[in-house]
Amino acid sequence: MAYIDRDGVKIYYEDHGQGPAILLTHGFADTSIFWRGQVAAFSDRYRVITWDMRGHGQSDSPDDPALYSEDHTVGDMAAILDTCGVERAVLGGLSLGGFMSLAFNLRHPGRVRALMLFDTGPGYRSAEGRAGWNQTALARAAGFEERGLDAANRRQRLEHRSPEGLAKAARGMLAQFDGRVIESLPGIAVPTLVLVGANDQPFMAAADYMAAKIPGARKGVIAGAGHTINLDQPEAFNAAVEEFLASLA
């Protein structure tokens, strides 16, 4: 097990393989375990780094709600790359992990070699859109506060230690507070892959929007896949990622 210390908060990460670096970030209420299939598929040719967001899995869940934010998450990602001695990496993320990858690119564009955005969205430009999303985020938080880890699905339940951490992460990291990330899309200057599951209707419009706004972005739709695209159709998902990674050489 490997950890970094972020001002007293331990953040768990795993570092597999050698080669060009890929940092994979999971979605809300998942953990680094989510990427096991990709570690197995790519770590013979790439350096695949996975991690648990604060409040999730084996990372710490600090008591202070102010320690859960986009800024802290992007800082955690940068600190993991620093610890691994990686200056530039391909950033891949699903759902919340995709949004945080976009946020990282906004803050540290020189450290991003390429972006892979899976079943995710760039946030909302309007306060009304953010308010609608935040109703869902706050409902997720309330679920963990009221029901504990039973609020997670069966696959996720055994991966977590702290329902309180997940609730705070929902309030501070899943919730949206401004439109900086969505407004950054036209300025993205690295190769970008946008993948979405054909059955993930809530994120189909977001995938179309990102593919249209990010210069030169490639978009793919994986048949028979929902929101957990890499678990639903692992062979098709890995093939699409492999083709994209090969194009970066």
**Can you tell me the mean pLDDT for 99-128?**
97
Q: How confident is the model at residue 43 (pLDDT cuts 50, 70, 90)?
A: very high
The answer to whether the CB of 77 falls within 8 A of the CB of 100 is yes
The domain locations on the chain are 2-247
Q: List all residues 6 or more positions away from 245 whose beta carbon is below 8 Å from its beta carbon.
A: 20, 22, 42, 46, 90
By CB neighbour count within 10 A (0-12 exposed, 13-18 middle, 19+ buried), where does 146 fall? Answer: exposed
Q: How confident is the model at residue 91 (pLDDT cuts 50, 70, 90)?
A: very high
Residue 249: is its pLDDT beyond 80? no
Mean of the per-residue pLDDT values of the chain: 97
Asked if the 2-247 domain carries CATH number 3.30.70.260, the reply is no
Model pTM?
0.97
**Can you tell me the mean pLDDT for 51-72?**
98
- The neighbour count for residue 44, using CB atoms within 10 Å, is 11
Predicted confidence at residue 153, as pLDDT, reads 87
The answer to whether the CB of 12 falls within 8 A of the CB of 58 is yes
Q: Strands 112-118 and 2-6: what pairing?
A: unpaired
**Can you tell me the mean pLDDT for 103-125?**
98
Q: How confident is the model at residue 56 (pLDDT cuts 50, 70, 90)?
A: very high
Measured CA to CA, the distance from residue 201 to residue 199 in angstroms comes to: 6
How much of the chain, in percent, has pLDDT values that exceed 70? 100
Measured CA to CA, the distance from residue 115 to residue 215 in angstroms comes to: 12
- Number of helices (H) and strands (E), helices first, in the chain? 10, 8
Predicted confidence at residue 154, as pLDDT, reads 85
Instruction: Give the pLDDT confidence of 194-210 residue by residue, as tens digits.
Output: 999 999 999 999 999 99
